[in-house]
């Protein structure tokens, strides 16, 4: 981490590999956090050569996460399964949801060991929130984890959140099938919240090559592919759109004026009928 020892063997003993960039820590770099290593910063530095606005893109994603969770809480959702939740930062899901409805329950799921360490510290005081270390590609294991079953009641509506994560699943891992596995156990009135890297420009397609080469994941899918995650659901207004267009707090930006960075991620929320 910034300002601390970066001796690989010390971190390896805690299950943390600092010789390769990690998704969670690279995201922490672009959110201007402190929980990252030189290898993560070097990866982000390469990405900025293709997408100079990548720090702004992370901010758009965090902003829409906040707007989306607030919207879901205002719709009456009181349970949130936040899959691929990331390292704690400002305005995390439980803080936004519980500011609207203090009885909201939130389970964070991530497979990065640093998320567990930091998440536990953040949530030590909050009995309506838990952090589970699990691989979201194994829905049966996630749904059966005691950290999930203790807080989430699958007879009541739940928000399935896959924010900034599905692009880290390869096509042959069947991301759509994984989304469906979570939705299958959720009752009517549940919601799906997705944000995703989009192949919306040549620069985005170039960035995909860098992500795949250096991080090992990062599929920039088309708007049609992202929209397909919502098949069978009622897609709520304004649909699957560039993130700054999703229910902005201020005036709606003009789409034709939007920059490459503003169009790099698309997202939406849908309701299970
Ligand atoms: N959802 C947060 C947000 O949008 O601000 C964090 C997004 S971050 C880009 C993606 C997170 O997904 C990282 O923390 C990473 O460790 C986690 N992740 C990646 N693959 C995963 C997997 N197979 N199972 C669980 N978590 C995973």
Model confidence at 234, in pLDDT bands (50, 70, 90)?
very high
The region that residue 242 occupies, defined by phi over 0 for left and psi between -120 and 50 for alpha, beta otherwise, is beta
Range(s) of the domain holding residue 95: 8-244+258-271
pLDDT at 3 > cutoff 60: no
In a domain, 251, yes or no: no
In a domain, 249, yes or no: no
pLDDT at 191 > cutoff 60: yes
In a domain, 15, yes or no: yes
Name the residue with the closest Cα to ligand 1, atom 5: 62
Note the pLDDT of residue 10.
81
How does DSSP classify residue 164? S
Q: Cα(266) to centroid of ligand 1, in Å?
A: 16
Model confidence at 264, in pLDDT bands (50, 70, 90)?
very high
Average pLDDT value for the chain: 95
Ligand 1 atom closest to residue 135's alpha carbon, by position in its atom list: 24
Name the residue with the closest Cα to ligand 1, atom 17: 84
For the stretch 24-41, pLDDT in tens is 999 999 999 999 999 999
Ligand 1 pocket list (CB less than 6 A): 23-24, 27, 61-62, 65, 84-86, 109-112, 115, 135-137, 163-165, 168
Q: Cα(86) to centroid of ligand 1, in Å?
A: 5
Name the residue with the closest Cα to ligand 1, atom 13: 24
Note the pLDDT of residue 5.
58
Measured distance CA(33)–CA(17) in Å, rounded? 18
In a domain, 252, yes or no: no
Choose the residue to mutate in 82, 139, 165 for probing ligand 1, maximizing ligand atoms within 8 Å of C-beta: 165
Would you report the helix, strand and coil content of the chain in percent, each value rounded to 5?
45, 15, 40
Here the CATH number for the domain that contains residue 62 is 3.40.50.150
Count of the separate structural domains present in the chain: 1
DSSP string computed for 115-128: HHHHHHHHHTT-TT
In a domain, 1, yes or no: no
The average pLDDT across 212-225 equals: 97
In a domain, 2, yes or no: no
Model confidence at 125, in pLDDT bands (50, 70, 90)?
confident
For the stretch 38-85, pLDDT in tens is 999 999 999 999 999 999 999 999 999 999 999 999 999 999 999 999
The average pLDDT across 190-197 equals: 98
79 and 156 in contact (C-beta within 8 Å)? yes
Name the residue with the closest Cα to ligand 1, atom 15: 24
For the stretch 77-119, pLDDT in tens is 999 999 999 998 889 999 999 999 999 999 999 999 889 888 8
Ligand 1 atom closest to residue 137's alpha carbon, by position in its atom list: 23
In a domain, 148, yes or no: yes
Note the pLDDT of residue 15.
84
Largest CA-CA distance found in the chain, in angstroms, rounded? 52
Is the bond preceding residue 19 a cis peptide, omega within 30 degrees?
Answer: no
User: Mutual orientation of helices 38-50 and 54-74 as an angle, nearest 10°?
Assistant: 100
Name the residue with the closest Cα to ligand 1, atom 24: 135
Q: Cα(13) to centroid of ligand 1, in Å?
A: 22
Note the pLDDT of residue 1.
58
In a domain, 3, yes or no: no
């Amino acid at each position: 981490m910034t300002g601390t020892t970066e001796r690989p063997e010390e971190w390896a003993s805690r299950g943390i590999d600092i010789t390769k960039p990690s998704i969670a820590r690279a995201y922490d770099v672009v959110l201007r956090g402190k929980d990252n290593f030189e290898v993560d910063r070097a990866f982000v530095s390469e990405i900025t050569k293709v997408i100079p606005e990548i720090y702004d893109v992370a901010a758009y994603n965090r902003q829409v996460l906040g707007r989306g969770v607030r919207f879901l809480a205002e719709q009456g959702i009181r349970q949130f399964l936040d899959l691929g939740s990331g390292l704690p930062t400002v305005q995390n899901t439980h803080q936004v949801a519980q500011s609207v409805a203090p009885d909201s329950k939130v389970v964070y799921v991530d497979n990065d060991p640093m998320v567990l360490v930091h998440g536990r510290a953040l949530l030590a005081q909050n009995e309506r929130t838990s952090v589970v270390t699990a691989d979201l590609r194994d829905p049966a294991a996630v749904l059966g984890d005691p950290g999930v079953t203790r807080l989430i009641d699958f007879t009541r509506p739940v928000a399935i959140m896959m924010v900034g994560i599905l692009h880290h699943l390869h096509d042959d891992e069947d991301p759509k099938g994984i989304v469906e596995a979570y939705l299958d156990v959720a009752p009517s009135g549940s919601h799906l919240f997705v944000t995703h890297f989009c192949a919306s420009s040549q620069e985005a397609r170039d960035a995909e090559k860098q992500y795949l080469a250096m991080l090992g994941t990062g599929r920039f899918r088309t708007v049609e592919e992202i929209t397909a995650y919502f098949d069978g659901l009622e897609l709520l207004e304004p649909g699957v759109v560039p993130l700054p267009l999703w229910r902005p707090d201020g005036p709606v930006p003009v789409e034709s004026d939007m920059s490459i960075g503003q169009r790099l991620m698309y997202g939406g929320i849908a309701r299970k009928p």
